[in-house]
RNA sequence: GGCGACGUAGCUCAGUUGGUUAGAGCAUCGGAAUCAUAAUCCGGGUGUCCGGGGUUCAAGUCCCUGCGUCGCUACCA
């Protein structure tokens, strides 16, 4: 038992020690094999490598892979009733079994082997940093021990954390955005875009509704949506929707296209390196190039005297949109599909099809690619967040009823803090010298995060003084300070009027 | 305290193996344009690259140190 005098937070009961049997994964046995395997992963992200090396250097420990629970995946062995697999032992196996299920569904039950047993397969796990050890230590160790040679993870590009309005997300505190709620108000495509544009790839990043609105309005709508709209409307108005390829491109058109292809190539490279954020910026920059080109070639002027020139502008803009419709698909698939439909292009295409410039674009129906979000909608989201914040402590779990005598067992007195200092090697604890009337005592209190020692001196606070003394960090604590705890805040209590130290509370 | 990171423009963030006058978007100010979803385009930056040392011909980038923030971890009787 590692815990010191533990009690249940819900019932206040003391836990009962029970004997049980568990199965363990013998991780230390795999250390050498894991190390030499990880040595080949010099292309992994530094944050991932650092994390694993930390684990390895501290020494791997045997890890229980079973739990005593009445739900979960049962152990496929005899006499194991009531035992289930530990979630991070069975979850990765799901990757394999779902492939098998898929193979069976398509009528080729052996097909899964093409992936799991082929050395050329690149298995890539996308996850948040808290999931690194399961996919880089435990899961590979499981695979290594199999008779069949399964492929090991090729890369584990773990991301950092995404904060919400500057604060760490927490589902238990309801400080989060639930996808199903989000979808009630906005198109999921917008979330995909904003998350891609601001993914915590190299460090924690922040999601704020204001920023969400700005990105949807300024980028998706004003830059990309408007480029499509102005191009299409113009084509419709002056060319009846038919935009044909010029026999020979002007220099301006050529250099513009070159630049676009250059960006597109970089976009592909960024995707391959899991730099979704960079890729997103790149394809949006292509739309910016398109807008600039549109402005510089002034089709609204050339259309009057040199109609061919105006047509070239539109043709290039359509081509730019066509290229974007391919390379932005991983991030905003629905919008890009609609863009292709408006361009009268096939839905079925490959990344390489960028280079295929059609003879003609046919614009028929024009619809908005994206919609803007107005301030009211964002205010609504802030209201929802606010409601949640006040909703954070819904009902208290009450402790069992006690008798008056139980309460009377406690001796609580007002103590005056005489001295306060930090305890070295600790960042939560303060050592206090207090006067409880006719005697002085030493108290260790875990309030360092909330109070500076110098601000405590002279304060009068309630203390539980007849609690059994206990050594903490080598110091004997002879009483317990009482304070109110509210989520991330902690407040000491003060008597309403000045009373002498030693006054008893009843 | 130990381990791991982070600190770049008002805001959100880029900055490849150290190499010209440190960048983008937003915001802000000024201008152009009128095809377009009041959209677009051009121009405007005195940033102690957290502070202080050091290595180097050269440091936002490497090393040491201090401060601050965050995560994991131990001690909140």
Question: Quick check: helix, strand or coil at residue A96?
Answer: helix
Residue with tokens 């301030």: A375
CA distance A5 to A467: 13
CA distance A148 to A116: 10
Nucleotides in chain B near protein beta carbons (<7 Å): 1, 3-7, 12-15, 24-27, 33-37, 39-42, 70-71, 74-77
Other CB atoms within 10 Å distance of the CB of residue A229 = 17
For the stretch A304-362, pLDDT in tens is: 999 999 999 999 999 999 999 999 999 999 999 999 999 999 877 899 899 888 999 99
Q: Which of residues 388-447 of A touch strand B (CB under 7 A)?
A: 423-429, 443-447
- The answer to whether the beta carbon of residue A301 comes closer than 7 angstroms to any atom of strand B is yes
- The answer to whether the beta carbon of residue A46 comes closer than 7 angstroms to any atom of strand B is yes
Q: What is the ipTM of this complex?
A: 0.89
Question: Quick check: helix, strand or coil at residue A420?
Answer: strand
| Residues A290/A321, Cβ–Cβ less than 8 Å | yes
Q: Which of residues 210-239 of A touch strand B (CB under 7 A)?
A: 211, 214, 218-219, 221-223, 225-226, 228-230, 233-234, 237
* CB contact set of A137 (below 8 Å; sequence gap of 6+): A27, A34, A52, A55, A56, A60
What are the tokens at A329? Answer: 């698909």
Å between CA of A335 and C1' of B34:
27
- The answer to whether the beta carbon of residue A124 comes closer than 7 angstroms to any atom of strand B is no
% of chain A exceeding 70 in pLDDT: 93
Å between CA of A160 and C1' of B71:
10
* CB contact set of A412 (below 8 Å; sequence gap of 6+): A462, A463, A464, A465, A482, A504, A505, A506
CA distance A277 to A268: 12
Distances (CA, A) of A317 to A90, A113, A234, A253, A286: 51, 45, 11, 10, 10
For the stretch A3-34, pLDDT in tens is: 445 555 455 555 566 667 778 888 888 888 88
- The answer to whether the beta carbon of residue A288 comes closer than 7 angstroms to any atom of strand B is yes
Banded model confidence at residue A150, pLDDT cuts 50, 70, 90: very high
* pTM for the model: 0.80
Report whether pLDDT(A272) > 80. yes
Å between CA of A387 and C1' of B6:
32
Task: Name the nearest CA neighbour of A308 among A257, A253, A233, A232.
Answer: A253
Give CB contacts under 8 A, 24+ apart, made by A261-269: A261/A323, A261/A354, A261/A355, A263/A289, A264/A323, A264/A327, A264/A354, A267/A327, A268/A327, A268/A351
Q: Which of residues 4-33 of A touch strand B (CB under 7 A)?
A: 4-5
Distances (CA, A) of A263 to A69, A291, A468: 53, 15, 70
Of A502 and A316, the structure prediction assigns the larger pLDDT to: A316
């Amino acid at each position: 038992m590692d815990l010191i005098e533990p009690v249940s937070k819900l019932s206040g009961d003391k836990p009962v020690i029970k004997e049980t049997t568990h199965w363990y994964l013998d991780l230390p046995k795999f250390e050498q094999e894991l190390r030499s395997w990880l040595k080949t992963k010099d292309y992994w992200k530094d944050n991932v490598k650092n994390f694993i090396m930390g684990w390895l250097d501290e020494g791997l420990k045997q890890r229980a892979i079973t739990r005593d629970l009445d739900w979960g995946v049962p152990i496929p062995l005899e006499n194991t009733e009531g035992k289930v697999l530990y979630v991070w032992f069975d979850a990765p196996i799901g990757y394999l079994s779902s492939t098998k299920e898929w193979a069976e569904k398509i009528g080729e039950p052996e097909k899964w082997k093409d992936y799991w047993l082929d050395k050329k397969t690149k298995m890539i796990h996308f996850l948040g940093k808290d999931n690194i050890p399961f996919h880089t230590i435990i899961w590979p160790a499981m695979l290594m021990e199999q008779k069949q040679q399964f492929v090991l993870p090729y890369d584990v590009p773990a991301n950092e954390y995404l904060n919400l309005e500057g604060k760490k997300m927490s589902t238990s505190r309801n400080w989060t955005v639930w996808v199903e709620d989000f979808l009630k108000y906005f198109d999921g495509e917008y979330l995909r875009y904003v998350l891609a544009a601001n993914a915590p790839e190299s460090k924690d990043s922040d999601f704020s509704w204001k920023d969400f609105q700005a990105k949807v309005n300024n980028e998706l709508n004003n830059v990309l949506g408007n480029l499509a709209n102005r191009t299409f409307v113009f084509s419709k108005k002056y060319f009846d929707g038919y935009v044909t390829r010029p026999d020979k491109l002007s220099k301006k058109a050529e250099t513009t296209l070159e630049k676009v292809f250059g960006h597109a190539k970089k976009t592909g490279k960024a995707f391959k390196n899991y730099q979704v954020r960079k890729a997103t910026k790149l394809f949006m920059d292509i739309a910016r190039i398109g807008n600039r080109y549109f402005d510089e070639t002034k089709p609204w002027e050339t259309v009057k005297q040199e109609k061919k020139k105006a047509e070239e502008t539109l043709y290039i803009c359509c081509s730019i949109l066509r290229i974007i419709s391919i390379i932005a698909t991983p991030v905003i698939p629905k919008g890009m599909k609609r863009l292709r439909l408006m361009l009268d292009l096939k839905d079925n295409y490959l990344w390489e099809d960028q280079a295929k410039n059609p003879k003609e674009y046919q614009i028929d129906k024009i619809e908005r690619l994206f919609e803007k979000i107005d301030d009211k909608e964002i205010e609504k989201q802030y209201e929802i967040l606010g409601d949640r914040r006040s909703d954070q402590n819904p009902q208290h779990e009450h402790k069992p009823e006690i008798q008056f005598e139980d309460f009377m067992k406690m001796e609580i007195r007002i103590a005056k803090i005489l001295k306060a200092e930090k305890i070295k090697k600790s960042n939560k604890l303060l050592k206090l010298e207090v006067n409880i009337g006719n005697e002085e005592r030493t108290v260790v209190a875990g309030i360092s995060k909330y109070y500076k020692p110098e601000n405590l001196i002279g304060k009068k606070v309630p203390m539980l003084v007849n609690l059994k003394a206990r050594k903490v960090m080598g110091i004997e604590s002879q009483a317990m300070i009482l304070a109110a705890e509210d989520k991330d805040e902690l407040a000491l209590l003060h008597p309403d009027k000045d009373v002498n130290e030693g006054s008893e509370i009843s």
